[in-house]
Amino acid sequence: MNVQTANPIAEAYRRDGFYFPVRAMSAEAAAGYRARLEAHEKANGGPLKSAMRTDVHLLFTWADELIRNEKVLDAVEAVIGPNILCWITNFFIKEPKDGNYVSWHQDATYWGLEPHDQVLTAWLALSDAPVESGAMKFLAGSHKTGLQAHADTFHESNLLSRGQEIQVEVDEADATDVPLKAGEFSLHHVLMTHGSHPNTTDDRRIGLAIRYIPTTVRQTKVRDTAVLVRGVDEYGHFDLLDGPDADMSEKALAVHKDANERLVKALLSGTDETQLRD
């Protein structure tokens, strides 16, 4: 029997385009990871900025642990099979009442990956992420409608790199709220139409989006990097990276800089922007 049809996570994912919640770790363990992030922020003058929010797994040993979390990988494997690359990570952090939001969008429009529909995002909550904190919203079944047209807005309060917004009317009443507790994660399909509202609570909302792909996927825009987190890579479509030897070491910073430059080239090709923004 095909393991992908036997698993309830895979079934729901194929039907709805998402699955949640799944617990990756205890609330205490999640608080421990949050403390390590915030210790770094405190020592460096405030919240992680722009490029530092991308590919934190190449900068911090604790973030490298997160992309290899066994509970997360078990759920990912149920959907995309046993040979798994972590392509990129993005922290999506909303400060209390900072007004930042994420416009309705599909991710696949600007990533350059082929086939474009094989990317799976695990969104791991390091703080509680109730609806009021600007939790993600999903449009069930939207992963089946194919790629829709998007327009780049580059709006200031938009957390997306290009402020990209889907050009179809989304009825909020049809959306599914995705509240998570610290230590839980959701999975969503790369064609899932999703977005989120501002954080109206008094706590930060901290989530790490981890983008996983099967080793069969290619990057069409640049020679890109990835980390093999489970199984074997028999394709060699990406330059494989090791985790950092130490937090923010010289070597880790150099690897991160190189990976980020390739990514920026891929994500921003076709626009006039020269760097990613929060």
Instruction: Give residues in contact with Ni ion (CB under 5 A).
Output: 107
Distance of closest approach, residue 41 Cβ to Ni ion, in angstroms: 23
Residue 207 or 214 with smaller CB distance to Ni ion: 207
Residue 107 or 184 with smaller CB distance to Ni ion: 107
Residue closest to 192 by CA, chosen among 208, 178, 180: 178
Residue nearest to Ni ion (CB): 107
3 state SS for 265-276: HHHHCCCCCCCC
Residue 210 or 252 with smaller CB distance to Ni ion: 210
Distance of closest approach, residue 70 Cβ to Ni ion, in angstroms: 25
Distance of closest approach, residue 107 Cβ to Ni ion, in angstroms: 4
8-16 and 70-80 helices, crossing angle to 10°? 60
Distance of closest approach, residue 160 Cβ to Ni ion, in angstroms: 7
Residue 83 or 109 with smaller CB distance to Ni ion: 109
Residue 144 or 223 with smaller CB distance to Ni ion: 144
Residue matched to tokens 């400060």: 95
| Per-position b or e across 63-74, b if 16+ CB within 10 A of its CB | bbebbbbebbbe
Strands 150-152 and 164-166, by their bridges, are antiparallel
Tokens of 133: 């904190």
Residue 105 or 230 with smaller CB distance to Ni ion: 105
Q: How far apart are CA 156 and CA 278, in angstroms?
A: 9
Tokens of 118: 């094989």
Distance of closest approach, residue 236 Cβ to Ni ion, in angstroms: 28
Q: How far apart are CA 151 and CA 165, in angstroms?
A: 5
Distance of closest approach, residue 161 Cβ to Ni ion, in angstroms: 10
Helix (H, G, I), strand (E, B) or coil at 4: helix
